[in-house]
Structure 1
Amino acid sequence: MEKNTKRMTDSYTVMTDLVFPNDMNHHHTIFGGKVMAYIDRIAAISAMRHCHKDVVTASTDSVDFLGPVKEGEILVLNAFVSFTRRTSMEVCVHVYSENPKSGERKLTTTAYLTFVAVDDEGRPTEVPVVIPETEEEKAIYCGGEARCRARMARRQKFKEKV
């Protein structure tokens, strides 16, 4: 591999937590905001593992809640850098609920976030190019450019309104 490249697996991060009663909303499922906080945290860790620099959240493109997480279940989050540009990294996050008695896992949430690497003065700084290796990684990576263009167009649209 080239010097300024990293494999997707180099940034792979797993986080687990047990869902307690104080995590619940009035539907008796985990608060979406709590899940979003976990997603931002694990995605930041994954981005830092990729570039070995400080990072800031630039965008949360999507958070898709696919199913509920119930009290007593184990929350399992997986994150990895899925696409890079010069100073930014897209991070893909998958969240699962796991039944602690059966071991059954269900995909409950997916998300894409973008982070920018910053130097000690808070200025954007270059990051390594991410290299996909497996077929699944390549498929996610191939969609990265389109997701990036959509982010940039959305940002430009909002800047024009300001």
Structure 2
Amino acid sequence: MMKVTCNETLAVSIHRVINADLNEHGTVFGGRLLELVDGEASVAAMRVTRSTIVTAAMDHVQFLRPFRLQDSMCMEAYVTGLGHRSLEVFVKVIGEHLQTGERFLGFTCLMTYVIQDPHREVLYDELEPTTAEQQALVRGYAQRRQHRATDRQAQQDLLKHVTIRKPWE
């Protein structure tokens, strides 16, 4: 049995908010934040797969507080659940007002990644949490995974009714 700790998968980076990140409200554009988060989470995911992965889902997305010019965004991502070919990564983004030093939780989400090669599997079969935060997230993984499976089936049922015709037809 191969074991990995959540801390061994931890990926951390800091991004300074610049004008190019902002939307018309003067806050970080949501799509830009999702792009940064996906990149960060993929590093954590590849630490347990060591192979090419694809983003399968992003859920429990919470935009808690906006990020503005003069803020930094510290992204932390670590693995919170292991499957055979898939895994879950938790991401939180902590903001810091650089002129005052005030820190705040601005964003959280869970990402699911799948190994692209159908013949490869996740390298570990046991995940060990260290902190109370990690313990709570790892403990809830099985329930979230089951919920995602149910949601996937409902989505497949809905997609049967979605048309892809040209809008002018």
The verdict on a shared fold, with TM-score over 0.5 as the criterion, is: yes
> What displacement does 1:102 show?
2.9
Higher alpha-carbon Rg: 2
- Indicate conservation of the 8 Å contact 1:97/1:107, yes or no: yes
Residue 152 (1) aligns with residue 146 (2):
no
What pairs with 1:1-162 in structure 2 (closer than 5 Å)? 2=1, 4-118=2-116, 122-123=117-118, 125-127=120-122, 128-129=124-125, 130-161=127-158, 162=160
Describe the superposition over 1:88-133 as per-residue Cα deviations: whole angstroms up to 9, x where unpaired: 1100000111122332211000000100123xxx326221132223
Instruction: State percent identity of aligned pairs.
Output: 31
Counterparts of 1:36 and 1:148, CA distance in 2: 21
Rounded to whole Å, the distance in 2 between the matches of 1:151 and 1:60 is: 11
Compute the TM-score of the two structures, normalised by the length of structure 2: 0.87
Matched AA of 2:88: E
CA contact (8 A) 1:61 1:151 kept: no
| Deviation of the 1:50 alpha carbon | 2.0
When residues 124 and 43 of structure 1 are mapped into structure 2, their CA distance, relative to the original with a 3 A threshold, is farther
Normalization by structure 1: what TM-score? Answer: 0.91
CA RMSD of aligned residues (A): 1.4
Q: Which whole-Å CA distance do the structure 2 matches of 1:65 and 1:97 have between them?
A: 12
Structure 2 stretches lacking a partner, 5+ long: 161-169
Report if aligned partners of 1:116, 1:124 keep a CA contact under 8 Å in 2.
Answer: no
One-letter code aligned to 1:117: I
**1-structure distance, mates of 2:136, 2:21:** 34
The answer for unaligned runs of 5 or more in structure 1 is: none
Partner of 2:167: none
